[in-house]
């Protein structure tokens, strides 16, 4: 299969073939899974042929038709690095070799590194998307293994990749390899502005579900209950700052990183001011966003912050930590409050600023956020940015290949 202009099944010309390679691409992966889908939709809308190769311990039923899902090892020695024998298959090597561009989603795992090495060997340009894994906080887990990995493969992953793509200015500014990338790029992930239809119905459903009266106002936490999300600290800050008529609803699945009994105990002691809801899926999640008066996320690290984007897209003002990827945009355009730092006092002051606002002022802040999300983070703009980057990378690769051919011929 030749690189360059390809023919799709419908007969219309394609800009080329893009192969996205990821790890554990399933809803459990959270933002990474959603972003891979966003890349897929955006590039297809711009005329690229896109396929996904997924190395996973989960099934691939949530990916587009035609995606490949290949297993990783269950053996203890290779499990930490998601080792997979399937990366050595001829069909996988051919898929990478015959692509016009490879996009690698992640860093510290065996099949993703091998995909980059295969692409480099065959002269296929590749883009690396770290998904927050270059943030200093992420290095706190298995720190020495990750630092060794970065030291061994820095040239392949950052100096020789066609680009390193960050989802926000915050993620790029906090990257531990800043300065090593051949071409760092910031392409904010897309957020669709949701309809405000049935907001009244959603509010009624949520109030009935949690026995809330009409005077109570709702602050929402919606994320995995993981160490990075700081839910226990959020509950304590809320209880210090919130007026009596506010309630904090905590939505999200438990993980092994946080003692969920501690969260339940904190909520039980709050006398109904904080409620741990647990995991919610599908349209039920939308109901919580529509019912909320305020969204709170004091994460230690977010390369973007999909849940913050979801809240802003629905006109819900946010209170966030400066490490959330969208913090720089909230600072610039409005839509909520950003804490000055990570301390408990910083979090409390940010919450206090929000609670001191009237209901009308909070609604206006929410609408400001909704408007800038519609303007700056819409899927059409994202597709244009990503298309331009991919086109530039492919043009550069073709020009470089041409120069090498001329040298050899001479």
Would you list the DSSP string of 83-116? --GGGGSHHHHHHHHT-SEEEEE-SSSHHHHHHH
Average pLDDT of the residues of the chain: 91
- Each residue's pLDDT tens digit, 138-166: 887 778 889 999 999 999 999 999 999 99
Same structural domain, 185 and 216: no
Q: Could you tell me the pTM of the whole model? A: 0.89
Same structural domain, 225 and 185: no
Q: What is the mean pLDDT of residues 285-290?
A: 94
Same structural domain, 225 and 240: yes
Distance, CA of 197 to CA of 367 (rounded, Å): 15
Same structural domain, 177 and 239: no
Which of the four pLDDT bands, split at 50, 70 and 90, describes residue 9?
very low
Which of the four pLDDT bands, split at 50, 70 and 90, describes residue 14?
confident
Same structural domain, 120 and 106: yes
Structure tokens at 235: 């509950």
- Each residue's pLDDT tens digit, 111-127: 999 999 999 999 999 99
Query: Would you tell me the crossing angle of helices 90-97 and 110-121 to the nearest 10 degrees?
Result: 60
Same structural domain, 357 and 385: no
Beta bridge partner(s), residue 318: 295, 336
Does 364 fall in a domain?
A: yes
- Each residue's pLDDT tens digit, 336-362: 999 999 999 999 999 999 999 999 999
Structure tokens at 263: 């969260």
Same structural domain, 144 and 224: no
Structure tokens at 267: 């909520």
Same structural domain, 165 and 258: no
For residue 80, pLDDT beyond 80: no
Same structural domain, 10 and 103: yes
Calculated CA dihedral for residues 172, 177, 182, 183, nearest 10 degrees: 0
**Confidence (pLDDT) at 406:** 45
Q: What is the mean pLDDT of residues 228-234?
A: 96
Does 320 fall in a domain?
A: yes
* Domain limits for position 360: 199-376
> By three-state DSSP, how is residue 67 classified?
coil
CATH number at residue 225: 3.40.50.2000
Which of the four pLDDT bands, split at 50, 70 and 90, describes residue 4?
very low
Q: Are 284 and 258 in contact (CB under 8 A)?
A: no
Same structural domain, 72 and 181: yes
Distance, CA of 77 to CA of 364 (rounded, Å): 54
Count of domains observed in the chain: 2
Same structural domain, 344 and 275: yes
Which of the four pLDDT bands, split at 50, 70 and 90, describes residue 60?
confident
User: Which whole-number Å values give the CA distances from 20 to 17, 69, 157, 169, 187, in the listed order?
Assistant: 10, 12, 15, 23, 16
User: Which whole-number Å values give the CA distances from 310 to 73, 85, 283, 286, in the listed order?
Assistant: 35, 38, 13, 9
Does 1 fall in a domain?
A: no
**Confidence (pLDDT) at 196:** 67
Does 235 fall in a domain?
A: yes
Q: Are 11 and 97 in contact (CB under 8 A)?
A: no
Asked which of 5-14, 28-37, 142-151, 254-263 is least confident by mean pLDDT, the reply is 5-14
**Confidence (pLDDT) at 176:** 94
Q: In sequence order, what E strands does 65-187 have? A: 68-71, 101-105, 126-129, 163-166, 184-186
Same structural domain, 23 and 68: yes
User: Which whole-number Å values give the CA distances from 174 to 96, 105, 118, 223, 324, in the listed order?
Assistant: 30, 18, 29, 22, 11
């Amino acid at each position: 299969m030749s690189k360059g202009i390809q023919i799709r099944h419908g007969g219309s010309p394609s800009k080329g073939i893009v192969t996205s390679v990821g790890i554990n691409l399933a809803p459990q992966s959270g933002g990474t899974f959603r972003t891979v889908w966003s890349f897929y939709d955006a590039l297809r809308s711009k005329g690229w042929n896109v396929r996904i190769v997924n190395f996973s311990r989960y099934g691939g039923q949530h990916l587009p038709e035609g995606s490949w899902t290949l297993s990783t090892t269950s053996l203890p020695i290779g499990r930490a690095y998601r080792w997979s024998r399937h990366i050595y298959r001829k069909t996988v090597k051919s898929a990478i070799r015959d692509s016009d561009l490879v996009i690698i989603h992640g860093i510290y795992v065996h099949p993703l590194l091998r995909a980059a090495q295969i692409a480099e060997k065959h002269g296929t340009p590749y883009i690396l998307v770290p998904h927050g894994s270059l943030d200093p906080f992420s290095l706190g887990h298995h720190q020495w293994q990750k630092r060794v990995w970065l030291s061994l493969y820095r040239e392949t992953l950052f100096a020789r990749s066609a680009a390193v793509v960050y989802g926000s200015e915050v993620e790029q500014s906090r990257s531990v390899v800043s300065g090593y990338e051949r071409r760092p790029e910031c392409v904010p992930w897309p957020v669709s502005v949701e309809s405000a239809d049935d907001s009244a119905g959603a509010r009624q459903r949520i109030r009935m579900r949690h026995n809330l009266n009409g005077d109570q106002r709702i602050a929402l936490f919606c994320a995995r209950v993981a160490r990075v999300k700081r839910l226990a600290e959020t509950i304590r800050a809320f209880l210090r700052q919130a007026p009596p008529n506010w309630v904090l609803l905590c939505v999200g699945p438990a993980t092994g990183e946080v003692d969920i009994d501690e969260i339940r105990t904190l909520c039980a002691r709050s006398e109904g001011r904080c409620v741990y809801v647990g995991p919610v899926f599908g349209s039920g999640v939308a109901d919580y966003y529509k019912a909320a008066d305020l969204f709170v996320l004091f994460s230690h690290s977010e390369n973007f912050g999909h849940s913050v984007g979801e809240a802003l897209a629905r006109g819900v003002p946010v209170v966030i930590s400066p490490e959330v990827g969208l913090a720089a945009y909230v600072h610039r355009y409005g839509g909520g409050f950003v804490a000055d730092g990570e301390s408990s006092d910083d979090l409390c002051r940010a919450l206090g600023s929000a609670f001191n606002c009237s209901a009308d002022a909070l609604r206006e802040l929410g609408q400001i956020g909704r408007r800038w999300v519609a303007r700056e983070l819409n899927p059409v703009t994202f597709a244009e940015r990503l298309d331009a980057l991919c086109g530039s990378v492919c043009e550069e690769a073709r020009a470089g290949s041409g120069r090498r051919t001329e040298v050899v011929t001479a």
